[in-house]
Amino acid sequence: MNKNSQRMRVGKYELGRTLGEGTFAKVKFAKNLETGQSVAIKVLDKDKILKHKMVQQIKREISTMKLVKHPYIVQLLEVMASKTKIYIVLEYVTGGGLFDKIPENLLVDANGNLKISDFGFSALSQQCRADGLLHTTCGTPNYVAPEVINDKGYHGSTADLWSCGGILFVLMAGYLPFNGYKKINRPGFTCRSFFSAGARRLIMGILDPNPKTRITTEKIYQNNWFKKEYSPPKFEKDLDINLDDIDAVFSESTDYMVTEEKDIMPPAMIAFELLSLSWS
């Protein structure tokens, strides 16, 4: 057994334990060596992305996280790349995920607030066609609006409301409102007996399979059940957003590449490093 251990450095970050792993990416806990800040770094393999023709999807994900600034969305700190990897540096959310019925991209912070952490399957308003509608089929299967599946075009905000309604239902009931794609096109689902009349009306309005009659965001803000104990978040809009580094991460130019280093740790340092890099 090797008595020494290796630690990985990417630019100013030192990588620690794996927080999550999927087919195309790993999420690693890391420390900013300059500030001591804890972060999460999503590591993607360039060859896999190119092989599976996912370049545009990754660009959409990064673009979305750069454009959307909100206290309940995990903050994108920076994007880096090496010859073989793409590193997406994100805010580290300490609370972890929810139970298995909720999408994996919903996390809970230290204050119990929900945060969206991933926009891998997203569509931007710039992708609207001449009819003014989006036609990209994307989303988490159990939470996709009927009009997205029907592939006839949809308004992104209206479809997102449906997904939020599904999440709200699961948070309250503990199970999905619909089992199977065919059922979401028909109105009707069973609420738990303890749902208040106000909650039932709101959820039924959100989970209306007809996007033309589905409740709007404006109406939700006026809803008495929604307004109860609701405090709107305070945040500043960032109007100066640079998207140049999105294309740069796929560039072959070394001007944009970050250095990767592996340091050998002596045995005496291993225990300390494991504790510090695994802390959450």
Token look-up 């949809």 returns 154
Token look-up 């992104």 returns 156
What tokens were used for 146? 């009927």
Q: Which residues are annotated as a binding site for ATP?
A: 42
Count CB-CB contacts under 10 A for residue 38. 17
Q: Which residues are annotated as a binding site?
A: 42
Q: DSSP state, 179?
A: S
40, 257, 10, 37: CA torsion to nearest 10? -50
What tokens were used for 153? 């075009």
CA 107-279-10 angle, to 5 degrees, is 85
| Distance, CA of 165 to CA of 77 (rounded, Å) | 29
Residue type for position 207: L
State the angle between helix axes of 156-173 and 197-206 in degrees (0 to 180), rounded to the nearest 10: 140
Largest alpha-carbon pair distance within the chain?
Answer: 66
Q: DSSP state, 257?
A: B
Count CB-CB contacts under 10 A for residue 192. 12
